[in-house]
Amino acid sequence: MNRQGDTDGRNDEAQPSDILEKEFSLMPSILEIQGAIAQAVASGGKARRSATSKSAHDHPARVALEQASRLRSLEHDHMARFFCNRAVTRCRAEVTAVTKNAQA
């Protein structure tokens, strides 16, 4: 006693489980995502440098930075630490500038 509209008692409305299965089938797997990332890394971006340029450990700017940071760690007075922080910041900026010049 089937009517033409019915097919084995199923409704035309989609069940929630059917909707979830469709959504999961459209989502890429972890392996596909990793493959896409690896392919993007291999094809794009600039090449890594074979060696990084750093200033020598005995460079005057680097020695001044080490000395200022050690002096700052010994200070307990807040005002003295404030001025030491300023000195460390200036020395760090100088070391950064020297390193950028060496890389250019």
| In-domain check, residue 81 | yes
Per-residue pLDDT, averaged over 37-47, amounts to 74
Q: What angle do CA 17, 21, 24 make, to 5 degrees?
A: 135
Q: pLDDT per residue over 56-93, tens digit each?
A: 788 899 999 999 999 999 999 999 999 999 999 999 99
Contact 84, 68 (CB under 8 A): yes
Per-residue pLDDT, averaged over 35-50, amounts to 73
- Spatial separation of the C-alpha atoms in residues 65 and 71, rounded to whole Å: 10
| In-domain check, residue 73 | yes
Of 55, 52, 82, 51, give the one whose Cα is nearest residue 68: 82
Domain count, the chain: 1
- Spatial separation of the C-alpha atoms in residues 4 and 16, rounded to whole Å: 25
Which residue segment(s) compose the domain that 78 sits in? Answer: 63-103
The answer to whether the predicted template modeling score (pTM) of the entire model surpasses 0.75 is no
| In-domain check, residue 32 | no
| In-domain check, residue 98 | yes
| In-domain check, residue 87 | yes
